[in-house]
Amino acid sequence: MDFGFSGKVVIVTGASSGLGRAIADGFAAEGVGALALHYHADRRGAEAAAASAQRLGVTAAAFGADLSVSGESEHLVGAVQEAFGRLDVLVNNAGAMVQRSPVADASDELFDKITALNYRSVFEMCRAAIPRLKASGGGAIVNISSSAARNGGAGHSVLYAGAKGALSTFSRGLAAELARENIRVNVVGPGLFDTPFHAEMTSREQLARIETTIPMGRAGRPEECAGPVLFLSSDRLAGYITGQSLEVNGGRLMP
């Protein structure tokens, strides 16, 4: 199946490992024109992803930025524009739970950290990307939310869930705002996936308990989230889809 990515320039944030790495690998396998792989701390992981894409004949490079710092998003998008000359697809994958905490014990600083990384950074990335997408004649934005946006989070992750809920609502509003500009905005909401995301935040026992609540009986594999992202990024396959949220959770949350 041809996704129509030939000649397209794609940014994937948080591409060093986990879902971001799988998404990057998926774009590379589909022959995207150029791939910009963002990282914060794990430069080696992003460079490995870029090298893997290059072996497939894809132009790719790693770009570092702390997206929780205001202004870094504009610098990142500007650097990609300078390197590759255009932008067609933005996948906002970077995010983290940061820290589990009951709301009653959460500090203003923790709230700000979680919100800055999981919501404000996406707003700033979209703001920086929109003029470039318009200059390319349109394109696609896919924002990675979470099933926590729908169920409110579990295990003292309410602040994270709230930020992801805000992100999902923002994405629907932005989709309506940009529809006439030929820019589609959609959301993918992953459930439990076997990635480093939970390494410091969730014990193996907790993960095992969550798996028992999933109808499919297991955590997802990263590549099983990459497919939905590639689909929504493709004008050829999803050109009439905008403002939607595609939940990828093994049936744990159903309408």
Is 253 contained in some domain? Answer: no
Is residue 204 over pLDDT 80? no
Q: Are 77 and 129 in contact (CB under 8 A)?
A: yes
Distance CA 82, CA 198 (A): 35
Is 4 contained in some domain? Answer: no
- The CATH number assigned to the domain holding 117 equals 3.40.50.720
Total domain count for the chain? 1
Domain that residue 17 falls in: 9-248
Q: Are 144 and 188 in contact (CB under 8 A)?
A: yes
Is 1 contained in some domain? Answer: no
Is 183 contained in some domain? Answer: yes
Is 79 contained in some domain? Answer: yes
Is 187 contained in some domain? Answer: yes
Is residue 196 over pLDDT 90? no
Distance CA 8, CA 247 (A): 26
pLDDT tens track for 23-68 = 999 999 999 999 999 999 999 999 999 999 999 999 999 999 999 9
The candidate with the shortest Cα–Cα distance to 90, out of 164, 163, 154, 174, is 174
pLDDT tens track for 110-150 = 999 999 999 999 999 999 999 999 999 999 999 999 998 88
| Residue environment code for 171-183, b if the CB has 16+ CB neighbours within 10 A, otherwise e | bbebbeebeeebb
Q: What is the pTM of this model?
A: 0.94
Which residues have a catalytic role annotated? 146, 160, 164
Whole-number average pLDDT of the chain: 94
